[in-house]
Structure 1
Amino acid sequence: MSLEKLDLASPDLVNENIEKIAALFPNCVTESSKGKAIDFDLLKQELSDSVVEGNKERYRLEWPGKREAIVTANLPTTKTLRPVREDSVDFDNTENLYIEGDNLEVLKLLQESYLNKIKMIYIDPPYNTGKDFIYKDNFSKDEEKELLESGQTDEYKNRLITNPDTAGRYHSDWLSMMYSRLKLARNLLTQDGAVFVSIDENENHNLRKICDEIFGERNFVAELIWQKKTGSSDAKNIATITEYVIIYSKEITSLAFNQDEDAHDNARYKYKDEYYEERGPFYYDNLDRGTLGYHESLDYGIPTPNGGLAFPNGRTKKLNDGWRWKWGKKKLEWGLNNGFIEVQESSSKDCGWGVYYKIYLNVDNEGNPKKRSSPYKNIIQGILNTHASNEAKDLFNRTGIFSNPKPTNLIYNLLKIGSNENDILLDFFSGSASSAQAVLKANSEDNFRRKYIQVQIPEPTDDKSDAFKEGYNSICEIGKERIRRAAKKIKEETKADIDYGFRVYRLDESNMQDVYYKPQEYDQGQLDAFADNVKPDRTSDDLLAQVMIDWGLPLSLKIERIDIKGKEVFKVAENSLYACFDKGIDEEFAKEIANDSPLRIVFKDSGFKNDTAKTNVKQLLKQLSPETEMKVI
């Protein structure tokens, strides 16, 4: 019996688009040596109310390599992401991701797992100043050797080249790089999502044009101008001291930015207080907390309606278990007298009474009116690049570690208008990871659970740079260390109970032997050598990541390891996916695992005890757990 195999490749967007066209215009689909193809002459005629006789001039941006950029974006990849636990922080529980590798390939791999799931994209790409490195995406097999020998690729096969303004395709190469990546990125945005792109005057005009084409001119939101410095002494004519943030929505009719600094919180203010209407609506927060540091003076009894006393963490007596009240006795008395405190019976039998304080929309917890800014008033005012240098000094005790980073407050302010609870921020030109720090800062203030995905090519640091001298050999090493240090600093300063961890993944060639993808190129004698089609240096962690990507599961899902009949089984998001890559899979194992009724289960094709066991396992799962979808790699 043959079992369905996971294809372990990113979606074939060309074939998907052909099928969509075929559904609308079946007469425009023909056959070629490579399968289905589109008769473009017929398709042009179908989309015109007059006879199409040839090429006509039209309003659009063209450049050498544009068609290749579209093809590049549509080509599937068989690469994978391999987990790097030793560089991660709280790998099994965190929902944040740091991905090392060429962002074009990574964006392809994220197409199924994060389709329509990213609320906000922020990128700070190369500005094309004539000194930047850009990605060279022409990577046909015939050129691989030439690129490597000329130094245009590194050990990871990343395609980085300088793009001097004297080059014949100076603008064209930059446009091709951006076009393919933005085209893929758009697929990941939620319907109400938006992309924010930092840029300067060199390519601002061209960026607007390609975004008009990719996102649609009607989905343009704004072009923000911010002052990056106070002056410039090296300007030849007029000093340029500003940069831009270009904003496009996925669908403008669905876009709803937060209107002021408190708007993202407004949904939480769902209670009304008839005695204090002038304070506005409010929400409750626990008066006790176990992560602020224990103080005996803040561990006291608060009278309850039944004549008893409530202590932190639902206790009935004083106990140094780390929990304490946020307020002292004097402020508590003020809160009780002024309607800021409520003592309520807990819905849990084990917790007794709970003490809550009210957070009003219009007044603070001192009873003073809140100062509320007008919409977008302070979004980018008073933010300078020198602030980014100061951030480096705060974290690394010296400047010069980061190269041209964006100030965290710039991205933080964009986050405040463009994201809410549980939203995901994607940054696929991560650089020094300013956007990751901005997410941590925002979460620590409003206690939201925004998540980030950082993507950065492991570009080597200059051997003359301060970063290299400090032991950071690549931009990725700087970015990861920055997140660790920023997380530690924010946790110490705020005591906020948020997700400070991140999972590291590294782009690499597929976990599978080449024969998995092109068996027609091998004869039977060669095939025998591939009895196990997994490369010998790959681990179960590697295989699980590739399976999650192929099955369209977010890489941030909780992962557990359990033992079933002496075999290691990965549980992803409870019973969303079970994966076992051990050998000796048989009927007894199938019966045991069927008790959990996983939605999906995957094995290695070579992992079954024998061919009979392979057939019987499939039949048993079909009988005992009919909802389970089984595949093999």
Structure 2
Amino acid sequence: MIRDILHQNEEAQPTDKTLGLLHRNFPQCFNVEGKFDIAAFRELLNDKVDIIKEGSGFNFLGKNYASLVASMDTTTVLVPDTEHNSKPENANSRNLYISGENLDALKHLVKSYAGKVKCIYIDPPYNTGSDGFVYNDKFKFTAEELEEKLSVSEEQAKRILAMTTRGAASHSAWLTFMMPRLQYAKDLLSDDGVIFISIDDNEQANLKQLCDNVFGEENFVALFPWRKRTAKSDVPFGVSQDYEWILAYARTDKFLAGIDGKNRKYYETEDFPGRPWRIHDMTTQRTALERPNSDFTMVNPKNGNEYPVNPQAVWRITKEGFPQYLKENRIIFPGDYDFLKISKPVLRYWKEDDMRKAGNRFGQCAVSTNLPATVGMSQDGTKDIDSLFNAKIFSFPKPISLIKYLIDGAVEKDKEEPVIILDFFSGSATTAQAVMELNSADDGYNLQYILVQLPEKIKPDTDAYTHGYRTIDMIGQERIRRAAAKIKSETNADIDYGFKHYTIREPNENTLELMERFTPNMVFGDDILQQFGKETVLATYAMRDGYGLTPETELVKFGNYTAYLCGRHLYMIDPEFDIDGDELTELVDKYNKDHSFTADTVVIFGYSFYFSQIDAIKKNLSAITDRSRINIDIRY
């Protein structure tokens, strides 16, 4: 579990994450020793990709260090808030709220939610010098270790060490802080996903370069100016900073082509090489009375076949415009393509048209001077939360209307599959309230949120402290509860008003010491589980194995022992010193006789069993003949 990760992290290198991606996608470019063959990679790309020999780079002190941090796994665990999660409004909720350091949270989340998040909104620290941002790292390296791992000079290693351990607030420190978080954000986004990042002038230029580096310049969507106030402020040079910025990047061009329609299929055909196209229904819900100029019989000029219109659903185009659509190859008739099973003409849309349309999706924002006034200003965000708490609990949250506007512009209404919205700098939980309001509207969305917030301590001389709040995440959770009650009373909508709560926890020194001195002839699972809790181990394992934080778990008893079935994994966590042949015989019988039993991987919490017991489990499961081999995964 954690000991294995600690040992892996000792060997971690800045390039591990990149090499892992290359190995998954280009295994033929690695030799038998596991080394990357750049010549083979170039040969693979030969005549297919233009390789430039000169280009612009983006470097800063700490860039390699940030890559190293991204390559290291988290040693934390996910502790479920059992009392909260068992309440009726939360027990079946798919929404998640995680209290803890967001980089650790992202490293957990990517194991289950990689490629599944449609929209991310974050409002990170702006590094203004007065917003409290300092980079203070939890990783413990010596200058000598950094020299070796990062291949840098002694002087550079010392500068990086100073920046990451002494509370630096420089541009380099901020970029070092943001880079691994954005790398994991990219991994979490679906191919048609998008990220929105709020920022002000202090780091906007640096953030743009960083996002170009992480997401790719070709996936830049827009830089939206957001007017945060109308009152002028006193600032250097007499310039009032009335605007902030929202930087938007897509995961791939599937977002750009797909935000006006979900799961579009594009075709590439020999008659139009390099021009993917899709089809769209030619009819509309307008009647012949409403649109008389679209009430005509369409004739295929190739064979003379006629296609009369339905007077209750006339053509989308007019009779006068029909010749121009033919000239532009916009109309496809039945029989034009064998693979299209159509009985009436359809419209053709080129992919480049969709991409141009995407640039204007947000009310012409990509080419205008500011977002529309309906998205609200900073004072509106303050009013939103003040009205819920009847007190000034949180300063300058983003307005609900702004977050709703961004989500509405990026997400399609798909009632079948819930769409995941992530905010890992969630603050007062504006995003959660925005999601619930969008879901509760007539013909609303099917959204679920994942929020992450550091339990940052609240200063004693604040109204929030006076009202009993000690950390920011406490405010966020309470806002969700209050907003849910308000929305339910106003709309009575049948939506998910609850959330599951988890806390990220670092093991204490005693636990780490127990793990380090563990040998297969020892058992102290009870000691470890007292530190973690059985539910914590199970939640952390389920996330690691791709089941997320809201999985269905079933108790499986064989003899006196209880294991936990989640999907295709059977977890053996509880210590049981006298597990013997009877229990193992029942387990084997379960596999041989119950064909609905799906577990093809047995995960053993190594601290709970003697070596001899693990060996007996292995031997018994290897004797199962009625199905394919069972994988045994022992974790420490």
Q: Under a length normalisation based on structure 2, what TM-score does the superposition of the two structures give? A: 0.67
Output the CA distance in 1 between the equivalents of 2:627 and 2:531.
34
Residue 557 (structure 1) aligned with residue 561 (structure 2): no
1:490 offset after TM fit, Å? 0.9
Q: 1:392 aligns with which of 382, 385, 392?
A: 385
Task: Output the CA distance in 2 between the equivalents of 1:615 and 1:540.
Answer: 23
Structure with higher helix content: 2
Aligned to 1:528, which of 515, 519, 522?
A: 522
Task: Tell me how far apart the structure 2 counterparts of residues 510 and 607 of structure 1 sit (CA, whole Å).
Answer: 20
Q: Secondary structure at the match of 2:256?
A: coil
Change (3 A) 1:257 1:475: farther
Instruction: Kindly provide the amino acid, as one letter, of the partner of residue 551 in structure 2.
Output: L
Shift of 1:489: 1.1
Change (3 A) 1:442 1:570: farther
Distance of 2:615 and 2:584 partners within structure 1: 10
Label 1:516 to 1:202 Cα distance change in 2 as closer, same or farther (>3 A): same
- Report the 3-state secondary structure (helix = DSSP H, G, I; strand = E; otherwise coil) of the residue aligned with 1:111: helix
After superposition, give the CA deviation of every residue in 1:466-504 in whole Å (9 maximum; x if it has no partner). 111111100010011111111111111111111111111
- Cα distance in 2 for residues equivalent to 1:274 and 1:425: 33
The residue type equivalent to 1:435 in the other structure is T
Q: Is the 8 A contact 1:402 1:467 kept in 2?
A: yes
| Corresponding residue SS for 2:373 | coil
Distance 2:90 2:511 in 1: 27
CA distance in 2, matches of 1:6, 1:91: 33
2:621 alignment counterpart: 618
The 3 A distance-change label for structure 1 pair 565 and 193 is: same
For the residue of structure 2 that corresponds to 1:113, the secondary structure is helix
Secondary structure at the residue paired with 2:464? helix
Counterpart of 2:393 in structure 1 is 401
Distance 1:246 1:534, change over 3 A: same
Q: Which residue of 2 aligns with 1:312?
A: none
Name the SS for the 1:195 alignment partner.
strand
Q: How far apart in 2 are the matches of 1:625 and 1:24? A: 32
Q: Are residues 559 and 435 of structure 1, via their aligned partners in 2, closer, same or farther at CA, if it must alter by over 3 Å?
A: farther
Out of 363, 367, 387, which is 1:377 matched to? Answer: 363
Residue aligning to 2:253? 252
Partners in 1 of 2:132 and 2:165 — Cα distance? 6
Match of 1:222 in 2: 222
1:42-121 pair list within 5 angstroms: 59-88=56-85, 90-121=89-120
**1:411–1:274 CA distance, 2 compared to 1 (3 A):** closer
> In the comparison of the two structures, how many residue pairs are matched?
494
In 1, Cα distance between equivalents of 2:289 and 2:560: 64
1:168-247 to 2 correspondences below 5 Å: 170-236=170-236, 237-247=238-248
Alignment check: 8 A CA contact 2:382 2:395 kept:
no
Deviations 1:401-421 (A, max 9, x none): 112211111111111121233
Over 3 Å counting, the alpha-carbon distance change for 1:455 and 1:135 in structure 2 is farther
Change in 2 beyond 3 A, CA 1:592/1:137:
farther
The 3-state SS of whatever aligns with 1:121 is strand
After superposition, where does 1:563-602 map in structure 2 within 5 Å?
568-572=562-566, 575-582=567-574, 583=576, 586-591=583-588, 593-594=590-591, 595=594, 596-599=596-599, 600-602=601-603
Conserved in 2, the CA contact under 8 Å of 1:127 and 1:203?
yes
State how far apart, in whole Å, the 2-side matches of 1:117 and 1:72 are: 23
State the alpha-carbon separation in 1 of the partners of residues 590 and 563 from structure 2.
Answer: 9
Q: Does the aligned pair in 1 maintain the 2:79–2:536 contact within 8 Å? A: yes
Q: Map Cα deviations across residues 546-570 of structure 1 (whole Å, 9 max, x no partner).
A: 2112212222333455766565554
- CA distance in 2 between partners of 1:576 and 1:186 (Å): 28
CA distance in 2, matches of 1:96, 1:577: 23
Amino acid at match of 1:245: I
Q: Tell me which amino acid in the other structure corresponds to 2:186.
A: R
Q: Secondary structure at the match of 2:253?
A: coil
Work out the CA distance in 2 between the residues paired with 1:256 and 1:414. Answer: 17
Whole-Å Cα distance in 2 between the matches of residues 274 and 187 of structure 1? 41
Matched, 1:471 2:473: no
Residue equivalent to 1:423: 419
Q: Partners of 1:565 and 1:528 in 2: how far apart? A: 23
> What code does the residue aligned with 2:422 have?
L
**Judging changes above 3 Å, is the alpha-carbon distance between structure 1 residues 214 and 465 closer, same or farther for their aligned structure 2 residues?**
same
Identity of aligned residues (%): 32
- Cα RMSD, aligned residues only: 4.3
Letter in 2 for 1:387: D
Structure 2 segments unaligned to the other structure (5+ residues): 47-52, 144-163, 266-279, 292-359, 365-370
Amino acid aligned to 2:428: S
Q: Deviations over 1:25-83 (max 9, x none)?
A: 547x98xxxxx77799x99999999xxxxxx9852232211221111111222222111
Tell me the distance in 2 between the aligned counterparts of 1:472 and 1:531: 36
Deviates more, 1:196-205 or 1:78-87: 78-87
User: Which among 459, 477, 492 is matched to residue 462 of structure 1?
Assistant: 459
Offset at 1:626?
Answer: 3.6
Q: Does the CA contact (< 8 Å) of 2:120 and 2:196 recur in 1? A: yes
SS in 2 for 1:255: helix
Q: 1:131 matched to which residue of 2? A: 130
Shift in Å at residue 614 of structure 1?
A: 1.7
Map of 2:310 onto structure 1 = none
Q: One-letter code of the match for 1:551?
A: D
| Match of residue 433 from structure 2 | 437
Question: Within 5 A, what are the aligned runs for 1:317-332?
Answer: none
Secondary structure of 2:528's match?
Answer: coil
1:510/1:92 Cα in 2 relative to 1: closer, same or farther (>3 Å)? farther
Return the alpha-carbon distance in structure 2 between the equivalents of residues 540 and 415 of structure 1: 37
More displaced, 105-114 or 526-535? 526-535
Runs of 4+ displaced beyond 6 Å: 8-13, 36-40, 42-49, 159-162, 263-267, 272-280
Aligned partners of 1:218, 1:226: CA distance in 2, in Å? 23
Tell me the CA shift for residue 276 of structure 1. 6.5
Deviation at 1:538, TM superposition (A): 2.5
Question: Residue 329 of structure 2 corresponds to which residue in structure 1?
Answer: none
Q: Which moves more between the two structures, 490-499 or 526-535?
A: 526-535
Task: Rate the CA distance shift 1:92–1:45 in 2: closer, same or farther, 3 A.
Answer: same
Q: Is the Cα contact below 8 Å between 2:77 and 2:505 reproduced in 1?
A: yes
Unaligned runs of 5+ in 1: 31-35, 50-55, 145-158, 164-168, 281-373
State the secondary structure of the residue aligned to 1:579: strand
Contact 1:92 1:560 in 2 (8 A): no
Whole-Å separation in 1 of the counterparts to 2:84 and 2:140: 32
Kindly tell me: are residues 479 and 257 of structure 1, through their superposed partners in 2, closer, same or farther at Cα, counting changes over 3 Å? farther
CA pair 627-467 structure 1, distance change in 2 beyond 3 A: farther
Deviation track 1:606-629 (CA, whole Å, cap 9, x = no partner) reads 358946752454236x43554764
Mean Cα deviation higher: 464-473 or 91-100: 91-100
**Cα offset, 1:181, TM superposition:** 0.9
TM-superposition CA deviations, 1:552-597 (whole Å, max 9, x none): 222233345576656555444xx44443433355225415643241
